[in-house]
Amino acid sequence: MRGDRRKNTPERLIALSVPELRKLLSKLMEKAGETLEQILSWPYWRRRHQYRAQQCHYHSRDNPLIKKQLRL
């Protein structure tokens, strides 16, 4: 299983954007009842997902087999 192999490796994330920081700060101010973990879970997932998408994009651009398949 792919997920099991990576449990002990650190997560790679892209940097927070300015709008995302703004949203986090507004959530922190309005959501006093929620835990910090609940508030931070969305941007963490988003940055992790974007990192994976970025890596897949770079991989597909470097892979000649994928380039050949994409030609119309």
Using the structure block, give the residue that is written with the tokens 């973990």. 37
Q: Which residue has the higher pLDDT, 10 or 16?
A: 16
Indicate whether 57 belongs to any domain. yes
pLDDT of residue 29: 75
Q: Whole-model pTM?
A: 0.44
Q: Name the residue range of residue 34's domain.
A: 14-70
Indicate whether 55 belongs to any domain. yes
Question: DSSP state, 9?
Answer: S
| 4-28 mean pLDDT | 78
Strands (E), the chain: none
Of 52, 40, 58, the residue nearest 12 (C-alpha): 52
**Domains in the chain, number:** 1
By residue count, the chain amounts to 72
